[in-house]
Amino acid sequence: MFSYRCVLSLVVAMAAVFAVVSSGADSTEAGVTNTATPIIARLKLGESRDPLFDMHGNANQDLQSLMVLRFSATNDVMHGIDRMEDESRLAWVRAALFGVLGFVKDPASIEWLSEKRRSDVENFYRDYLPTWKGRLDGFGGWEWLTGRDRWIAFWLEALHEERSPNRRIGLLCVLSQFDDASVVSFFSARRVEATDPKEVLLVEGYLDAHGLPANGERVAWAVGALRRSPKNNDFLISMAHGLRHEAFVPFLVGVSDKSERYSYPPYYAAERDLQAITFECNLHGKAAWESWYAAHGKEGRTGWTRSAIDTFRTELAQSPKEAAQRFDKLVYCWNEIALLPFVEDELAPHAEFHSAIAGWINLTYSDFDRERLRPLAERIGADGHIEDWSRRLLQERGYVSGQRKDTWAEAVERANSRL
C-alpha cells in the first residue's frame, strides 16, 4: 500500500491522466495491426492539449489506440518524441506520447529512456516519471509488468545519479511501489544514509509498510523540520495518510480547517488523516480537534487504538447487529493492516460483520499485504450469505473465484473510463 502513501500531492496531475493500469505483455491484442505511424501523424495535427484528453483525464481515442498496440508501437512512439523535440507547438503531443510509453512500460524502451533522462531532463521528469506513480496498490502482484528487475535497476540507477532533492523524491515514489527483496534492502540501507527530511519520511513509511516499524524519533524529526514551511503541507498530509504516526498529529490539528483546493463539497484531507491516526472518526472542526488533543494528546497512538477497540468491544457485547452497522461506516477510518488481528479474532466470528469485513479488506488491501489478508478474505468469501457487492470486491481482488480477467484492450478502456 505504500505507493498510496507516497506523496499524493506530487502525483495528482499526471496520475489522473495515465494512472491505474499499465502494460507488460510481449504481443499485441488479437486482430490489432501496427498502425502507430498514422496515429501519431493524426495527433500531430492538433495544436493544443485539449484534443488529447477529456476533463477527467481520459486519453482520446488515438492515444488509447497507441496504448492498445502496446510493445509493437514502442519504436514509433519513441521516434515520434524524438522528431518533435524542437517543435514547441507540439509540446503537449510529445508529453502525451511520453505518457503512452509510461502507460505501456515496455522494457525495450529502457535504453532510450536512460538517454532521455540525461539529455531531456525536464521532459523526462515532468512527462514520463509521473506515469509510474498511479498504482495505488504497488507493483507487487501486478500481472502486466514485465522486465521488473530491469525496471528496478533503471530506477535505482536514476536515483544514484540524481542530485536534485525534489527529483529524488519522485524517484523514491516510483521505487516505493515495488516490494522485491532488492528494493526492501535498498530502503533498509537508506534508513541509515537519508538526511533529507522528505526522504526520511518516505524511507520510514516504506519500511513500516514492510514489517519494519518506523523509527519514531526520525519521523518526529522529519515532521518537525518540514512543518516549518507551509509549502510542505501537502507533502506532510499525504505522508500522514499512510504512515499513521502520532508525530503528525500536532501538525494536522493546526491545518485541519484547510480544505483541498477545488474540492466541492469541501474535502478536509488533514482531518481525514487525523481521524485515521486517532480513531476519532466522528470528530470535526479545528476547535474540536484542539480540545481533543489538549485532553488526549499525551496518550499516544497506542492509547488511542486501545481506547477505540475497547469502546467497540463494549458495543459488540451489547448488540452485535448494531455494532456491525457501525463498523460498516468505520471501515473508511479503520482501514489499516495493523487491525487485522482484531478483525480476524473478534469480528469475523460474527456473521453480521462479514459483508463489512469484505469492504474493510478492499480498503486496506495492498499488493504488499495481499497474502496477509488472504486467510481472512477466503474465510469471508466462503460465507454464502455475504452481500453481492462484498463478494464482487473479493472477486476483484482475486480472493474468490468468479473474476473475469480483462484483455489488454479492455484494461486500456477501463483505465480511460474515469468519471
Secondary structure (DSSP) of 163-177: --HHHHHHHHHHHTT
The DSSP output letter for 125 is I
Confirm if 398 and 405 have CB atoms less than 8 A apart. Answer: no
Give the pLDDT confidence of 223-241 residue by residue, as tens digits.
999 999 999 999 999 999 9
For residues 357-379, average pLDDT: 94
What's the pLDDT at 141?
66
Q: 3-state secondary structure string, 197-238?
A: HHHHHHHHHHHHHCCCCCCHHHHHHHHHHHCCCHHHHHHHHH
**Has residue 135 got a pLDDT over 70?**
no
SS3 state of residue 354: helix
What's the pLDDT at 16?
34
What's the pLDDT at 51?
76
**Has residue 35 got a pLDDT over 90?**
no
Q: Give the closest residue to 17 by CA, choosing from 101, 99, 119.
A: 99
**Quick one: pLDDT band at residue 346, thresholds 50, 70, 90?**
very high
C-alpha cell of 410? 479492455
**Has residue 2 got a pLDDT over 90?**
no
Instruction: Report pTM.
Output: 0.87
For residues 120-141, average pLDDT: 84
What's the pLDDT at 134?
63
Round to whole Å and give the CA distance between 271 and 274: 5
**Has residue 183 got a pLDDT over 80?**
yes
What's the pLDDT at 384?
79
H-type alpha helices, 84-212: 91-104, 110-119, 121-123, 148-161, 165-175, 181-193, 197-209
**Has residue 17 got a pLDDT over 60?**
no
**Has residue 21 got a pLDDT over 70?**
no
What's the pLDDT at 137?
65
Q: Give the closest residue to 355 by CA, choosing from 384, 334, 397, 314.
A: 384
388 or 403: which leads in pLDDT: 388
Round to whole Å and give the CA distance between 36 and 246: 52
For residues 254-282, average pLDDT: 93
Confirm if 24 and 146 have CB atoms less than 8 A apart. Answer: yes
What's the pLDDT at 6?
62
Angle, alpha carbons 287-293-297 (nearest 5°): 175
**Has residue 39 got a pLDDT over 80?**
yes
**Has residue 9 got a pLDDT over 60?**
no
What's the pLDDT at 321?
94
**Quick one: pLDDT band at residue 18, thresholds 50, 70, 90?**
very low
Average pLDDT, the chain: 89
Give the pLDDT confidence of 143-160 residue by residue, as tens digits.
889 999 999 999 999 999
**Has residue 379 got a pLDDT over 60?**
yes
The residue type at 90? L
For residues 108-137, average pLDDT: 91
What's the pLDDT at 419?
79
What's the pLDDT at 136?
61
